[in-house]
Structures are given as structure tokens and as C-alpha cells.
């Protein structure tokens, strides 16, 4: 009988324990989360219009730490001087009014999707042109409230931001595009923005830009003072380097080819007037079209760009080749006129010599020949001039102009390339 009684006692306690475990297993912590939210955000308990207190409950400013994650940079527009970026933006601050019991660590944080339920910093992007939130499939935004009253706000946004550019070195340039965030209404006496310690800015690893490379980024502060007070401001500077290979293939090499093609006219016969004129005019028009196409993709700035120097000099060389043919044509006609005049003069001299030979005797002719020979031998010998000796192989001035152009134009163009690339490629970083 005692043994049976002991068995029933054990069975009774086992039933109580199993019932207790069953009750614990049936606890719905989502319901607990709802009750906690109702307790801290209920009517008359929390006012979202009042900013949180300062550190340790003082009346100082509320500190908000900011960090961003750059998801993509879709374009950098040189004409409008703007760039588009998609990022995840996060803010974190402490509001002691939102403290709650975490039920022995069971509630790690509370999640909200309505930003108007709690106080929010009035941050705005000061260099923004356009922007929008993402609502597919649901609004990409959440607010997490932690037991100690810390609030984390995260949202995915797309922005089009102004990026003033200096294009003096285009397309060998680097551009700095900024992202500026500031408080609109709260002064630094009430609200201060801080970059999150550690890693305030993160960039996606496979970031791809069509014509630029993101070299680095720098975070800084940019507080501004106005008539209404001082406002907290954060900024991140993105340093972009323009990819030069695209412009080398699309601009520089074609321009070099056009300049070289214009030199072909120096090797054509002087009499091939239609061929030389059509070649010069075609290369000139093609070069002008190339230049206008380049300028159409750039804003009309008041200063001279590196690409302007290149296209301007190339256009000058092509135009010079066309002018060279005009000079050759003029020299050729002048040579023909001189040759005709010399022929007439020789004919007149020959006629006068024939007439005078009938009046002179043989001895006087012999004496005159000896005197002429003595005068020739008494003249001092002249030093040979290499250039004149080489040019003397070409009897006409027009031919000499073509030969000189064949050497001068390539040498001057090579010298220009040396100066151009040494100036723009090996410049100091400070000049940029």
C-alpha cells in the first residue's frame, strides 16, 4: 500500500511538470511583442514629435550614427554633371522612452515598418536632384527597437545627385562626387550626426561602372552655419577615375589615322589634282565631324579641355595638309612660268651669240675662252651644304615642298604627341 501511494505521488508530479512544459511551449512570443509595442507606443505614452534626450538622459543633443551601403552606381553623366546611386541607408540612435523587458533574452528586438510611429531624425540629402523609395514587393524599410531603447532605421533608396566636374583634363581626369547628408530643422544643439565607428561606408564588391573606376572614398563632416543656426552635416567623397581605354580606341587612334591619311597627298603626283583635293577635303570633313561628335557628348564649358587640344591640333594638321597642296599647286604653276621664261631667254641669247660669232675672228674667241677659264679657276671653292645638295636633286620648288612636307609633318606631329602625353599623363596629383 505504501509503495502504491508513492507511485501515485510520482505520477502526479510528473503530470504537473509535463503540463507546465506544455504551457511554456504554447507561449506565443509574437503576442508578447504586440503587448510590448502597445505598452511603449500606446496612446498617451509616447509622443513621436518630441526628440529623445541627450546622453544619460541629459538635455544635450541627440546623437545619431549613420552608415551606408552602396549597392550600385548606374551612371555618371558628364553633360548634366550628375550621378545615380542606389544605397541602403541606416541610422541608429537611443531613445530611452522605448526601453522594454526582453523576457529573459527572448525578445532581441521589436520590428516596425511604419516610420511615423517613433521619432525620426530630419535628415535630407543636400545635393539631391531626384530620389525615390523602393516599394516592390513591400516597402524596403524597417525599424528595429532594442531592449535598451536603441533604434535602428534602415531603408533602400535610389538617388540622382549633383556632381560638379572639372573637365580640364578630360578624358584623362579624375572626378570627386560627393554624397551630403544634413539636418533640415534641428540645429546642433538638438541633433548631431556622426559616422558609425569602424566601417561607416560599404561598397558592393562587384561594383561595375561603364566608363569609370571607383578608386576610393573618404568620409568627412560638413557642418554648415546659416542665419537660423548651425546644422550637422555628413559627407562621403567618391573618387572616380575615368577609364581611358575607351577613349583611346574611339577618339585618339581614329584621329591619328585621319592625320596620317592626310599625309598621303604628299606622295601623290603634283598633276593628280582631283585625287589630292578630294583626299584633303574628305579627311578635313571627317575630322570636323569627329570633333563635333566629341563636343556633343560634353557640356559647353568655358575652359579648354585636354580633348580639345588633341582634336584642335589634329584638325590643324589635316587643314595644313590641304593648304600644302594649294602651295604646291601655286609653286608648280610658278615653276612652269619660270621655265617658259628661261626657255625664251635662252633662245634670245642663242640668237644673239650666233649673230656676234660672225663678227669675231678665231683668235679673239680663243682669248676670251682662256680668260673665262682663268676666272673660273680663281674663284674660291665653296663648302658643300648637305641640305642644298639634297634639295638640288629635286629641280622644281613644288617637288621640294612635297619632299620637305613628308619629313616635317610627321616630325612635328611626333613632337606634339611627346609633349601632349608627357603633360597629361605624368602630371602631379596636386594639379588634379
pLDDT tens per residue, range 19-73: 444 444 455 656 777 888 888 887 778 888 888 988 877 788 999 999 999 999 9
Question: What mean pLDDT is predicted for residues 178-190?
Answer: 93
Topology of the domain covering 33-242: Acetylcholine Binding Protein; Chain: A, (2.70.170)
- pLDDT confidence of residue 257: 94
Quote the cell numbers at residue 95: 531613445
Residue 265: Cβ within 10 Å count: 22
- pLDDT confidence of residue 184: 93
Q: CA 287, CA 242: separation in Å to the nearest integer?
A: 24
User: Average per-residue pLDDT in the chain?
Assistant: 82
Beta bridge partners of 153: 91, 143
Q: What is the pLDDT of residues 247-295, one digit of tens each?
A: 999 999 999 999 999 999 888 887 788 888 889 899 999 999 999 998 8
Confidence category of residue 207, pLDDT binned at 50, 70, 90: confident
In this structure, the dihedral spanned by the alpha carbons of residues 396, 402, 404 and 406, taken in order and rounded to 10 degrees, is: -150
Q: What is the pLDDT of residues 214-233, one digit of tens each?
A: 999 999 999 999 898 999 99
Inter-axis angle of helices 273-296 and 306-357, nearest 10: 160
Q: SS3 letters for the chain?
A: CHHHHHHHHHHHHHHHHHHHHHHHHCCCHHHHHHHHHHHHHCCCCCCCCCCCCCHHHCCCCEEEEEEEEEEEEEEEECCCCEEEEEEEEEEEEECHHHCCCCCCCCCCCEEECCHHHCCCCCEEECCEEEEEECCCCCCCEEEEECCCCEEEEEEEEEEEEECCCCCCCCCCCEEEEEEEEEECCCCCCCEEEEECCCCCEEECCCCCCCCEEEEEEEEEECCEEECCEEECEEEEEEEEEECHHHHHHHHHHHHHHHHHHHHHHHHCCCCCHHHHHHHHHHHHHHHHHHHHHHHHCCCCCCCCCHHHHHHHHHHHHHHHHHHHHHHHHHHHHHHHHHHHHHHHHHHHHHHHHHHHHCCCCHHHHHHHHHHHHHHHHHCCCCCCCHHHHHHCCCCCHHHHHHHHHHHHHHHHHHHHHHHHHHHHHCCCCCCC
Confidence category of residue 344, pLDDT binned at 50, 70, 90: low
Residues 181, 126: contact at Cβ < 8 Å? yes
Q: CA 389, CA 183: separation in Å to the nearest integer?
A: 81
Confidence category of residue 116, pLDDT binned at 50, 70, 90: confident
What does each C-alpha distance from 228 to 50, 185, 186, 225, 231 come to in angstroms?
20, 9, 10, 8, 9
Of 428 and 417, the structure prediction assigns the larger pLDDT to 417
CA atoms in the 13 A half-sphere facing the CB of 101: 8
- pLDDT confidence of residue 100: 87
Q: CA 317, CA 314: separation in Å to the nearest integer?
A: 5
Q: CA 62, CA 190: separation in Å to the nearest integer?
A: 6
Name the maximum alpha-carbon separation found in the chain. 183
Dihedral (CA of 371, 377, 381, 382) sign: positive
Q: What is the pLDDT of residues 120-132, one digit of tens each?
A: 999 999 999 999 9
Residue 262: Cβ within 10 Å count: 26
Residue 283: Cβ within 10 Å count: 26
Confidence category of residue 431, pLDDT binned at 50, 70, 90: low
- pLDDT confidence of residue 8: 54
- pLDDT confidence of residue 388: 55
- pLDDT confidence of residue 382: 56
pLDDT over 70 (residue 340): no
Q: CA 170, CA 299: separation in Å to the nearest integer?
A: 12
pLDDT over 90 (residue 202): yes
Task: Delimit the CATH 2.70.170.10 region(s) of the chain.
Answer: 33-242
- pLDDT confidence of residue 82: 94
Q: What is the pLDDT of residues 354-365, one digit of tens each?
A: 666 655 555 555
Quote the cell numbers at residue 228: 537660423
- pLDDT confidence of residue 416: 96
* Multiple choice CATH, 245-337+391-431, 1.20.58.390, 3.10.20.30, 1.10.10.10, 1.10.260.30: 1.20.58.390
Global pTM value: 0.75
Looking at the chain, the whole-number percentage of residues with pLDDT higher than 90 is 46
Amino acid at each position: 500500500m505504501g509503495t502504491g501511494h508513492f507511485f501515485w505521488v510520482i505520477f502526479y508530479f510528473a503530470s504537473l511538470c509535463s503540463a507546465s512544459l506544455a504551457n511554456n511551449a504554447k507561449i506565443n512570443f509574437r503576442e508578447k511583442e504586440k503587448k510590448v509595442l502597445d505598452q511603449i507606443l500606446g496612446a498617451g505614452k509616447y509622443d513621436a514629435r518630441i526628440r529623445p534626450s541627450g546622453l544619460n538622459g541629459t538635455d544635450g543633443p541627440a546623437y545619431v550614427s549613420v552608415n551606408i551601403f552602396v549597392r550600385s552606381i548606374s551612371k555618371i553623366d558628364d553633360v548634366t554633371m550628375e550621378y545615380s546611386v542606389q544605397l541602403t541607408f541606416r541610422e541608429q540612435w537611443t531613445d530611452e522612452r522605448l526601453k522594454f523587458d526582453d523576457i529573459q533574452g527572448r525578445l532581441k528586438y521589436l520590428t516596425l515598418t511604419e516610420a511615423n510611429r517613433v521619432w525620426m531624425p530630419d535628415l535630407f540629402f543636400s545635393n539631391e536632384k531626384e530620389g525615390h523609395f523602393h516599394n516592390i514587393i513591400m516597402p524596403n524599410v524597417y525599424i528595429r527597437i532594442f531592449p535598451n531603447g536603441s533604434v535602428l532605421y534602415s531603408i533602400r533608396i535610389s538617388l540622382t545627385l549633383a556632381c560638379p566636374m572639372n573637365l580640364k583634363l578630360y578624358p584623362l581626369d579624375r572626378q570627386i562626387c560627393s554624397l551630403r547628408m544634413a539636418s533640415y530643422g534641428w540645429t546642433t544643439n538638438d541633433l548631431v550626426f556622426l559616422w558609425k565607428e569602424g566601417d561607416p561606408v560599404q561598397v558592393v564588391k562587384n561594383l561595375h561602372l561603364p566608363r569609370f573606376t571607383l578608386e576610393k572614398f573618404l568620409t568627412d563632416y560638413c557642418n554648415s552655419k546659416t542665419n537660423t543656426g548651425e546644422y550637422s552635416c555628413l559627407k562621403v567623397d567618391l573618387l572616380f577615375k575615368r577609364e581611358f581605354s575607351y577613349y583611346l580606341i574611339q577618339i585618339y587612334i581614329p584621329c591619328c589615322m585621319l592625320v596620317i591619311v592626310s599625309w598621303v597627298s604628299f606622295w601623290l603626283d603634283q598633276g593628280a589634282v582631283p585625287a589630292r583635293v578630294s583626299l584633303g577635303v574628305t579627311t578635313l570633313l571627317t575630322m570636323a565631324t569627329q570633333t563635333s561628335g566629341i563636343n556633343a557628348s560634353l557640356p559647353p564649358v568655358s575652359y579648354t579641355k585636354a580633348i580639345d587640344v588633341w582634336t584642335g591640333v589634329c584638325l590643324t594638321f589635316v587643314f595644313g595638309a590641304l593648304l600644302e597642296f594649294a602651295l604646291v599647286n601655286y609653286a608648280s604653276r610658278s615653276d612652269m612660268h619660270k621655265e617658259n621664261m628661261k626657255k625664251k631667254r635662252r633662245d634670245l641669247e642663242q640668237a644673239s651669240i650666233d649673230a656676234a660669232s660672225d663678227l669675231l675672228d678665231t683668235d679673239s674667241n680663243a682669248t676670251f675662252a682662256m680668260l673665262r677659264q682663268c676666272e673660273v679657276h680663281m674663284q674660291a671653292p665653296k663648302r658643300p651644304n648637305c641640305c642644298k645638295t639634297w634639295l638640288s636633286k629635286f629641280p622644281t620648288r613644288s617637288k621640294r615642298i612635297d619632299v620637305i612636307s613628308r619629313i616635317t609633318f610627321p616630325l612635328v606631329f611626333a613632337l606634339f604627341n611627346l609633349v601632349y602625353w608627357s603633360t597629361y599623363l605624368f602630371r602631379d596629383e596636386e594639379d588634379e
